[in-house]
Structure 1
Amino acid sequence: MAVLAASRSNVHSPIPTPSDDLADSEIEADDQAPANGGDFFGTYEEDEIQWPGDMEWYANSSENSDSSDSEDDVVPGLDDAEWEPLVTGRDLEDQLGTAEEDSTEMNSHNRDLRQQIEQRVLQEDAITIVQYPDARAGHPIPQADICNANAAYATVINDTANPYAPFASRVDWEIARWAKLRGPTSTAFSDLLGISEVHEKLGLSYKNSRELNKIIDKQLPGRPKFRREQIVVAGEAFDVFYRDVIECVKALYGDPDFADFLIFAPERHYADEEQTVRLFHDMHTGKWWWDTQKKLDQRKPGATIIPIIISSDKTQVTMFRNKTAYPVYLTIGNIPKEIRRKPSRRAHILLAYLPTTRLEHITNQASRRRTIANLYHACMGRVLAPLEEAGLDGIVMKSGNGILRRSHPLFACFVGDYPEQVLVTGVKTTECPKCDIPPAELGSNAAPFEMRNLDAVLNALAAIDNGDLAFVHACREAGIKPIIHPFWEPLPYTNIFQAVTPDVLHQLYQGLIKHLLGWLAEAFGAAEIDGRCRRLPPNHHIRLFMKGITSLSQISGTEHSQICRFLLGIIIDIRLPNRLAPSRLIRAVRGLLDFLYLAQYPCHSSETLTLLTEALDLFHNNKQIFVDLGIRNNFNLPKLHAGRHYMSMIQTFGTTDNYNTEYTERLHIDLAKDAYRATNHKDEFVQMTQWLERKEKIARHERHVMWRLHGNPIRHQPRPANLSFDRVQTLTKHPSMKAVPIQKLITEYGATYFPTTRRRLEDLAAAIHLPFRTLPVYHIIKWRSDGAQGHGDPCVTVDSAHVKPRRVTTSQKGADVPARFDTVLINDGTGRSAGIEGYRVGQIRVIFSIPQSAVTMMFLPQSSLPNISPM
Structure 2
Amino acid sequence: MELYSGASANYGRGYTFVDTFDADPFSSEHRHNLFYPFSSGAEWKFASWLANSGLSMAAIDECLSLDVIKSQRFSFKTAKALRKLIELLPSGPRWKYRSVKTESPTRRALQVFYRDAIECLQHLIHLPSNSGQVHFVPKKIYSATDCMQRIYTDWLTGDRAWELQDALPDGATLLGVVLSSDKMHITQVGNRQAHPLLISLANISADVHRKGSTNSYLLLALLPVPRFVHPNKRLRGVLASRLLHQVISVVMKPLKMAAEVGRMMSDPVGNLKHCFTPLVAYIADTPEQHVIACVTDNASAVSMAVSKQFGDPLCCAARTASKTHQLLIAVKREMRAQNLSSYFQACRKQQLNGVASPFWLDWALAEPSSFLNPEVLHHFFKMFWDHDQKWCSRMLGADELDFRFSLL
Partner Cα separation in structure 2 for residue 148 and residue 412 of structure 1: 26
Once the 2 structures are TM-superposed, how far is the Cα of residue 186 of structure 1 from its aligned partner?
A: 2.1
Q: CA deviation at 1:148?
A: 2.7
Deviation of residue 354 (structure 1)?
Answer: 1.4
Paired position in structure 2 for 1:433: 301
Note the 1:32-47 alignment, pairs <5 A.
none
Q: The residue matched to 1:309 in structure 2 has which SS?
A: strand
* 1:205-230 Cα distance to aligned partner (Å, 9 max, x none): 1111111101112x112122222222
Q: Structure 2 CA distance, aligned partners of 1:224 and 1:140?
A: 24
> Given residue 419 of structure 1, which amino acid in structure 2 is its aligned partner?
P
Separation in 1 of the partners of 2:348 and 2:192? Answer: 35
Instruction: Verify the 8 A CA contact 1:257 1:400 in the aligned structure 2.
Output: no
Within 2, Cα distance between the matches of 1:293 and 1:404? 18
How is 1:593-604 mapped onto 2 (pairs within 5 angstroms)?
A: none
- Pick the aligned partner of 2:275 from 402, 407, 413: 407
Distance 2:345 2:192 in 1: 38
CA distance in 2, matches of 1:183, 1:487: 36
How far residue 469 of structure 1 moved from its aligned partner, in angstroms, is: 5.0
| Matched residue, 1:232 | 101
Deviations 1:823-842 (A, max 9, x none): 9x9xxxxxxxxxx9xxxxxx
Could you say which residue in structure 1 is the equivalent of 2:16?
A: 148
- The answer on whether the counterparts of 1:306 and 1:409 sit within 8 Å (CA) in structure 2 is yes
Summarize the Cα distance change of 1:191–1:524 in structure 2 as closer, same or farther, 3 Å threshold: same
Counterpart of 1:393 (choices 251, 261, 271) is 261
Other structure's SS at 2:81 match: helix
CA–CA distance in structure 2, aligned partners of residues 290 and 520 of structure 1: 41
Contact 2:392 2:401 in 1 (8 A): no
Match of 1:328 in 2: 197
- Aligned residue among 287, 292, 295 for 1:419: 287
Q: Which runs of 5+ in 1 are unaligned?
A: 1-128, 533-566, 573-589, 591-822, 826-835, 837-871
Cα distance between partner residues in 2 of 1:403 and 1:371: 45
Distance 1:428 1:464, change over 3 A: closer
Cα distance between partner residues in 1 of 2:205 and 2:148: 25
The equivalent residue for 2:78 is 208
- 1:307 counterpart = 2:176: yes
- Output the CA distance in 2 between the equivalents of 1:326 and 1:491: 22
Deviation string 1:420-478 (CA, Å, 9 cap, x unpaired) is 1111001111322111223123124x233111243232233345764635976875565
**Change beyond 3 A, Cα 1:392–1:147:** closer
Aligned-residue offset at 1:149: 1.1
2:220 corresponds to: 351
1:377 aligned onto 2:245: yes
SS in 2 for 1:204: coil
Q: What SS class does the counterpart of residue 238 from structure 2 fall into?
A: helix
Counterpart Cα distance in 2 of 1:357 and 1:152: 38
Distance 1:374 1:273 in 2: 51
| 3-state SS in 1 of match to 2:175 | strand
Q: Does 1:184 align with 2:55?
A: yes
Distance 1:155 1:374 in 2: 41
Query: Counterpart of 1:202 in 2: which secondary structure?
Result: coil
| Contact preservation (8 Å) 1:415, 1:501 | yes
For 1:462 and 1:356, the matched residues in 2 are separated by 28
Shift of 1:256: 3.3
**Which one of the candidate residues 194, 202, 210 is aligned to 2:65?**
194
Contact 2:181/2:196, CA 8 A, preserved across alignment: yes
Q: Distance in 1 between matches of 2:236 and 2:273?
A: 45
The residue number in structure 1 matching 2:168 is 296
Task: Check 1:448–1:400 CA distance in 2 against 1; reply closer, same or farther (3 A cut).
Answer: closer
Aligned with 1:461: secondary structure? helix
Give the C-alpha shift of residue 403 in structure 1. Answer: 2.0
CA distance in 2, matches of 1:240, 1:309: 20
What is the Cα deviation at residue 374 of structure 1? 0.7
Q: Would you say 1:461 and 2:331 are equivalent positions?
A: no
Q: 1:511, 1:232 → 2: CA distance?
A: 40
TM superposition score normalised by structure 2: 0.89
Whole-angstrom distance in 1 between the partners of 2:251 and 2:177: 13
Aligned mates of 2:83, 2:221 — CA distance in 1: 23
- 1:456–1:478: 8 Å Cα contact kept in structure 2? no
Residue 479 of structure 1: CA displacement?
3.7
How far apart, in 1, do the equivalents of 2:65 and 2:402 lie?
61
Deviations 1:51-100 (A, max 9, x none): xxxxxxxxxxxxxxxxxxxxxxxxxxxxxxxxxxxxxxxxxxxxxxxxxx
For the pair shown, which has the larger CA radius of gyration, 1 or 2? 1
Equivalence for 1:568: 401
Give the TM-score, by structure 1 length.
0.43
1:269–1:280 Cα contact (<8 Å) kept: yes
Give the aligned length.
Answer: 397
**Secondary structure of the structure 1 residue equivalent to 2:43:** helix
CA deviation after TM superposition for structure 1 residue 263, in Å: 0.5
Give the partner amino acid of 1:184: L
Are residues 264 and 453 of structure 1, via their aligned partners in 2, closer, same or farther at CA, if it must alter by over 3 Å?
closer
Alignment of 1:407-806 (within 5 A): 407-444=275-312, 446-462=313-329, 466=333, 468-469=335-336, 475=347, 479-517=351-389, 519=391, 523=394, 529=398, 532=399, 568-569=401-402
- Using the aligned pairs only, state the percent identity: 25
Q: Which amino acid aligns with 2:316?
A: F
**Residue 517 of structure 1: CA displacement?**
4.7
* 8 A contact 2:321–2:361 mirrored in 1: no
CA distance in 2, matches of 1:513, 1:195: 52
Question: What is the root-mean-square deviation of aligned Cα atoms in Å?
Answer: 2.7
Residue identity in the other structure for 1:271: S
Distance in 1 (CA, whole Å) between partners of 2:4 and 2:401 is: 44
Check conservation: 1:259, 1:401, Cα contact below 8 A: no
> Secondary structure at the residue paired with 1:203?
coil
Gap change, CA 1:197 and 1:256, over 3 Å in 2: closer
Give 1:380's aligned amino acid: I
How far apart are the structure 1 equivalents of 2:366 and 2:382?
29
Q: Cα distance 1:149–1:305, how it changes in 2: closer, same or farther (>3 A)?
A: same
Q: Secondary structure at the match of 2:275?
A: strand
Residue type of the partner of 2:385? Answer: I
TM-superposed CA distance for 1:510, in Å, is 2.1
Task: Write the deviation string for residues 32-55 of structure 1: whole angstroms up to 9, x where unpaired.
Answer: xxxxxxxxxxxxxxxxxxxxxxxx
Query: How far apart, in 2, do the equivalents of 1:469 and 1:439 lie?
Result: 28
In structure 2, which of residues 131, 139, 152 is the aligned counterpart of residue 267 of structure 1?
Answer: 139
* 2:92 aligned residue (211, 223, 248): 223
CA distance in 2, matches of 1:329, 1:224: 13
Secondary structure, in 3 states, of the residue corresponding to 2:225? coil
